[in-house]
A and B are shown apart, each in its own frame.
Chain A
Amino acid sequence: MNFWEYVSTRHQQLLTDAFQHVSAVFQCMVLATVLGVVIAVLSYRSSWGGSLAITSTAMILTIPSLAAIGLLIPLVGLGVPPTVIILTLYGLLPVVRNAIVGLRGVDPSLVDAAKGIGMSRTARLCKVELPLAWPPILTGIRVSTQMLMGIAAIAAYASGPGLGNEIFRGLASLGSANAINQVLAGTLGIVVLALLFDAAYVLLGRLTIPRGIRV
């Protein structure tokens, strides 16, 4: 059976896996973005808080994902819970870092001007600072998503959802005729999905980055 025959006979299974992969990554990414921006907003004003947030999230990223999954299994069991926790935690770092850098990079005179025309602290944050910091935050989200696509594949080992299962099925049946098809389908599927995600972010950037600061 060649690769194309394999894909056409198994497309149901593959599509389900692909959908679960995307949906897991997407949902965790939304969660990580919200958490990351909140952490950044709370900490970017103090140099101490900001560096604490960056150092601690960087440390999480240093930990190999398989080891982190291993540490979570005794606590939350197998399956979806460790996958969601891992993906969200690892997705945080680039968002937190870029959001802090972005928020700190906002020209203070603009914030002053906003204050001068009577905007409240919340309005300044939502209408001036966050829109200006949005491009670097979006870059952080892109970097995170790329990384999460690969980590989600590893999480399949802890019975997580997604295309990683295809890869591990292939590894488990090394030598069988379908091993290479399964691994290829899983790997290429993830590559294609990652590239699609990236294209979607470019589009999202065109739609959401204020026209005034678009480059």
Chain B
Amino acid sequence: MTPSHQAPPKGARPPGEHDVGGHAFRDEEAEPSPPSPGPPRRITWKKLVLVPAVLTVVLVATYLWITHVELDSIARNSLAGDIVEVRWWQHVRLTAISTFWVLIIAIPLGIALTRPGLKKAAPGVTVIANIGQATPAIGLLALLVIWLGIGPSTAIIGMVIYAVLPVLSNTVAGLNSIEPTLVEASRGIGMSAMGTLTKVELPLAVPLILAGVRTALVLNVGTATLATFGGGGGLGDLITSGIQTQRMPVLILGSVLTVVLALLVDWLASLVELWLTPRGLEEA
């Protein structure tokens, strides 16, 4: 900071410098200059408010429309009681449980595949994963239903298998993209392999891992709509019963709620992504 005693006419120097005999010198900073607030968190007001506001408007409009639209007995039956609410929470539960298992399986597996012992297995896993990616979600789910019977747990297994891939590949990519010198340096200052992993490698890989988790979450909301084909419930029930009975209000309500849920989950995930990314890795 410019010392207050400095003569005003010499204020030609930018703050933080003073001038001695025409030469610029940095001010000595007795205390660390203004507790630098750093770059502001990237969670801005716009990010916090915009999406939920739009989604709320959509929800309110849908609610007003569905309560005022003329429903015949079939449509009323499809929406009777608290069925819409039940389906919504089923959907949320399917998404949450499957994402939980995806994290439990994919992140440790990704870490294991980048350790020296298992590194050789990585290309094989990638090939399997790519073939898995080519498998249509509905086909996978249908096969599981035939083998394991109908019910939510079958749907969850299918969703987990389907969503493991993005988290796994991002974890591997995140860990592999770390500069080897950083790992060497941390080993050099005497950190154990475990310490290096938890204090250096994982924090550096966090942005990519989180991006994978976000992809998996959004995928899971989508795959959960297919759970209805295996008796797993969820908002897909409203969509399919709307199509089967040709009742457009039921179909539209189910679809709108699914879209809102997907966008909401994506928004929440984006906030978590910003919040968990280590400060040092934030782009300026």
Taking beta carbons and an 8 Å cutoff, which residues of A are in contact with B?
Answer: 59, 62-68, 70-71, 73-74, 78, 146, 149-150, 153-154, 157-158, 164, 167-168, 170-171, 174, 179-180, 183-184, 186-187, 190-191, 194-195, 198
Please indicate which of the listed interface residues B137, B138, B235 has the most CB atoms of chain A within 10 Å of its own CB: B138
Partner of B134, one of A65, A157, A195: A195
Partner of B236, one of A63, A66, A195: A66
Please indicate which of the listed interface residues B137, B139, B239 has the most CB atoms of chain A within 10 Å of its own CB: B139
Inside 8 A of A179's CB, which chain B residues have their CB? 146
Expressed in whole angstroms, the Cα–Cα distance for A71 and B136 within the complex equals: 22
| Inter-subunit contact A71/B259 (CB<8 Å) | yes
The smallest C-beta distance from B257 to any residue of chain A, in angstroms, reads 8
| Inter-subunit contact A167/B138 (CB<8 Å) | yes
B218 in contact (CB, < 8 A): yes
Query: Which of B109-117, B186-194, B199-207, B246-254 lines the interface with chain A?
Result: B246-254
Expressed in whole angstroms, the Cα–Cα distance for A179 and B224 within the complex equals: 22
Task: List B residues 165-211 near A (Cβ within 8 Å).
Answer: none
| Inter-subunit contact B137/A70 (CB<8 Å) | no
Task: List B residues 132-166 near A (Cβ within 8 Å).
Answer: 133-140, 142-143, 145-146, 150
Q: Which residue on chain A has the smallest CB distance to residue B221? A: A64
| Inter-subunit contact A171/B252 (CB<8 Å) | no
Expressed in whole angstroms, the Cα–Cα distance for A157 and B235 within the complex equals: 16
Task: List B residues 217-272 near A (Cβ within 8 Å).
Answer: 218, 221-226, 229, 235-236, 239-240, 242-243, 248, 251-252, 254-256, 258-259, 262-263, 266
Chain B interface residue count, Cβ-Cβ cutoff 8 angstroms: 39
Inside 8 A of B135's CB, which chain A residues have their CB? 150, 187, 190-191
B131 in contact (CB, < 8 A): yes
| Inter-subunit contact A62/B138 (CB<8 Å) | no
Q: Which residue on chain B has the smallest CB distance to residue A182? A: B142
Expressed in whole angstroms, the Cα–Cα distance for A153 and B136 within the complex equals: 7
Expressed in whole angstroms, the Cα–Cα distance for A184 and B252 within the complex equals: 31
Inside 8 A of A71's CB, which chain B residues have their CB? 252, 255-256, 259
Q: Which residue on chain A has the smallest CB distance to residue B91? A: A64
Partner of B136, one of A66, A74, A150, A180: A150
> Chain B 74-91, CB within 8 Å of chain A: the 1/0 string?
000000000000000000
- Additional A-B contacts beyond A64-B262, A157-B243, A195-B131 (15; CB < 8 A): A66-B225, A66-B236, A66-B258, A67-B239, A73-B248, A73-B251, A78-B243, A146-B134, A154-B138, A164-B136, A170-B142, A180-B143, A180-B146, A190-B139, A191-B139
Interface of A is mostly: helix
Partner of B259, one of A67, A171, A194: A67
| Inter-subunit contact B221/A183 (CB<8 Å) | no
| Inter-subunit contact B221/A74 (CB<8 Å) | no
Partner of B142, one of A64, A150, A171: A171
Taking beta carbons and an 8 Å cutoff, which residues of B are in contact with A?
Answer: 131, 133-140, 142-143, 145-146, 150, 218, 221-226, 229, 235-236, 239-240, 242-243, 248, 251-252, 254-256, 258-259, 262-263, 266
Inside 8 A of B239's CB, which chain A residues have their CB? 66-67, 70
Q: Closest 3 A-B residue pairs measured CB to CB?
A: A187-B139, A70-B255, A64-B222
Expressed in whole angstroms, the Cα–Cα distance for A34 and B197 within the complex equals: 45
The smallest C-beta distance from B72 to any residue of chain A, in angstroms, reads 16
Inside 8 A of B225's CB, which chain A residues have their CB? 64, 66-67
| Inter-subunit contact A194/B134 (CB<8 Å) | yes
The smallest C-beta distance from B125 to any residue of chain A, in angstroms, reads 17
Inside 8 A of B252's CB, which chain A residues have their CB? 70-71, 74
The smallest C-beta distance from A153 to any residue of chain B, in angstroms, reads 4
The smallest C-beta distance from A15 to any residue of chain B, in angstroms, reads 18
The smallest C-beta distance from B147 to any residue of chain A, in angstroms, reads 8
| Inter-subunit contact A68/B138 (CB<8 Å) | no
| Inter-subunit contact A67/B258 (CB<8 Å) | yes
Expressed in whole angstroms, the Cα–Cα distance for A64 and B256 within the complex equals: 10
Inside 8 A of B146's CB, which chain A residues have their CB? 170, 174, 179-180, 183
The smallest C-beta distance from A146 to any residue of chain B, in angstroms, reads 6
The smallest C-beta distance from B246 to any residue of chain A, in angstroms, reads 9
Partner of A66, one of B143, B226, B256: B226
Inside 8 A of A158's CB, which chain B residues have their CB? 243
Inside 8 A of A174's CB, which chain B residues have their CB? 145-146, 150
